[in-house]
Amino acid sequence: MKRYFVLALLLQILPFSARPDCEENSSVRTFFGLLSGDWQGQAVTTPVGPGPYDISFERREPFWIYGQAEPGASVHHWGFYCEDGKLWLRFLSTFRGNTNPVLLEATAIAADEIRFRANNPDFLEVTVRPGRDHSQFEVLHHGKRHVLIELERARH
């Protein structure tokens, strides 16, 4: 009887403790590998119209990558990192003097896209579709496209 109790307890605990965290997820590893480097592109859709959007993503640690873009009226800081077993996006736009970054948690991780959602503001979502030569960033406000960024791998 005691053996069955222990087995039942283990079956309840194992799915959670055996679940791989961010650093062990192969899609997350691929994401960091694909995003690293120099990109050239355009913010195709924005509230103020299209504009150039070049960015370089630099690996700071194995599971921390940072990129900065200067599309014109502001500087955009993109930081992707793993913490407490979760993948996060810390985004800051300095538009109109803003200094408050938004923290978004990955809610869906697949090989071809990762979706992030903010708790505050709760209407903000970002989907990143990384690729070897082409990547796309889509920002949604209240479920509607707010920004679409199309990037191509920079050729040196």
Domains parsed from the chain with CATH numbers: 21-153 (2.40.128.20)
Classified as helix, coil or strand, 153 is strand
Residue 4 has pLDDT above 50, yes or no: no
Span 138-155, pLDDT tens digits: 999 999 999 999 999 998
Residue 10 has pLDDT above 70, yes or no: no
Question: Are the C-beta atoms of 58 and 66 separated by less than 8 Å?
Answer: yes
Burial level of 57, CB count in 10 A (0-12/13-18/19+)? buried
- The pTM (predicted TM-score) of the whole model is 0.84
Bridge pairing between strands 86-93 and 37-45: unpaired
pLDDT category at 23 given cuts 50, 70, 90 is confident
Q: Which of 67, 77, 61, 75 is nearest to 35 (CA)?
A: 67
The pLDDT value given to residue 20: 53
Residue 21 has pLDDT above 90, yes or no: no
